[in-house]
Chain A
Amino acid sequence: MYAGVVVMASAVGVLVLGLYALHRLTAVAPDSLTVLPFESGWAPEQHALSRYHVRWYLATLLFLAFDVEMLFMYPWAVVVAQVGVTAVVEMFLFLAALFVAVLWAWREGALRWV
């Protein structure tokens, strides 16, 4: 059953490697050129890799809560029609509770940046 995936992964791997190999033949130079990063013509004053301030870090916490919720959602989706009304009520009460948290975070400005 998994053989198909393995073949697919290998095939696409071969495709990518093949493109890189072909590029060595067709490009004006096979090796890669070391350059300075683009900064409108100037040399960079620092390395760009740094402790980057993501302004939306509050939203990532919200996201995490919902993302964990998805773990329940998939198995629930398969059985909800058999289990019936209780499954629907329970799941959507849970989602509603989560969404109240989203509303609160939104009101606090967690979803707006700047």
Chain B
Amino acid sequence: MADPMPMTDSPITTVAPGWAIAALGILGALAVTAAMLDGALAARAGGGPGGKMGGPVRPFGEAARLMRQRRRTTVEADRLLWRIGGAGLLVVAALMVTVVPLGEWTIFDLDVGVMWFNAMDVMVWALVWLTGWGANSAHSLVGGYRFLAHGLGYELPLMFALVAPAIAAETLNVGAVAAAQEGLWFAVWMPVAFLVYLLGVAAFSVWGPFAPAIGTDVSGGARAELSGVDRLVFEAGRYALLAAGAAFAVPMFLGGGAGPLLPGWAWVLVKTVALLAVLVWLRRRLPAFRPDKFMEVGWMLLLPAVLLQDLVVAVIAVWRS
């Protein structure tokens, strides 16, 4: 290790960098699982004669469709920024999972892993906005700015929710945070932070109630002009972000690989898939949070709630030590 900084004692072993490819594979598998589940739920809701066909295989058909479809460029589009925005979501999701330990293994044992995750999720602001801006289309532009408006509402609560486990664990190292939950998961005694975190995951994945940026009411918003592989990487990026967000919640709130019988890595995957299912299902249940209304909720309800949560956690942490 050429790192000059003293490492926190981490119960985690850093595996050879080549394993990053396996981690990317797992992220991909999780994203496909989420898409299949969404397809199945959509088919069930669609119902009717023949409406059930498709279902879980829907994402594969959609991928085939988009791989066959031609790409489009709008007149005088800001092409470079537009493509960076569309493809960037997938990259950000992949960089997020580098700090998530799979049981006892990790590929990036960063002392400030929590901040790393935070930095990645903030990049989504730029990426979604660029996707909306680059297209030089009115609907896209409105969609891109709607995402920023949502961001102003969800980002601060999300940040303060991420701080709560760090206070209790006295570290920003993700593996150490997971190890600090022996006996009692953080999700149990900091439920507000956990719930706000999950909302934040839905939000940076432009998912479910946080989808107005790509909503029907603005004709698809930020993705209105995307077609072919450009659209495919954008959609894949959203599912990957959802999966990465669910995976990160496991060491932060759900005790990491802790659990009976199964090995640690298996527990991490089981917990991730369970959370992912909840997030996917959320979309079926909730209409959109309109950005103009949500801003007030974010600032006047979620923010004070997580700040109080942080206070409670800090007081307990001081009292324990």
Residues on A lying within 8 angstroms of B by beta carbon are 1-9, 11-13, 15-16, 19-20, 22-23, 26-29, 31-39, 44, 47-49, 52, 54-56, 59-60, 62-63, 66-67, 70, 73-74, 77-82, 84-85, 87-88, 91-92, 95, 99, 102, 106, 111-114
Contacts and interface: CB of A to CB of B under 8 A. Distances in A.
A88 to B, nearest CB: 5
A102 B73 CA distance: 42
Contacts, number: 222
Interface stretch (B49-57, B188-196, B207-215, B221-229): B221-229
B138 A73 contact: no
A82 to B, nearest CB: 7
Contact of A114 (B138, B292, B320): B292
Interface string B290-321: 00100110011001100100010011011011
Contacts of B148: 54
Contacts of B23: 8
**Size class of the B contact interface (CB-based, 8 Å):** 35 or more
Contact of A80 (B18, B145, B318): B318
Q: Which 5 A-B pairs have the closest CB atoms?
A: A37-B137, A4-B107, A32-B71, A3-B17, A23-B229
B232 A11 contact: no
B69 A63 contact: no
Interface of A, helix, strand, loop or mixed by DSSP = helix
B124 interface: no
B314 A32 contact: no
A66 B172 contact: no
Contacts of B9: none
A7 B159 contact: no
Nearest to B236: A19
Given A22-B67, A113-B292, A67 B311 contact: no
A68 to B, nearest CB: 11
A1 B109 contact: yes
Contacts of A12: 24, 90-91, 94-95
Contacts of B33: none
A9 B139 CA distance: 32
Contact of B311 (A15, A33, A92): A92
B285 interface: no
B87 interface: yes
B67 A27 contact: yes
A19 B225 CA distance: 19
Given A37-B139, A38-B224, A44-B138, 7 more contacts: A1-B109, A37-B135, A67-B155, A77-B166, A80-B167, A81-B321, A88-B315
A111 B314 contact: no
Contacts of A81: 167, 170, 317-318, 320-321
Contact of A36 (B74, B87, B114): B74
B270 interface: no
Contacts of B184: none
A51 to B, nearest CB: 11
A78 B167 CA distance: 6
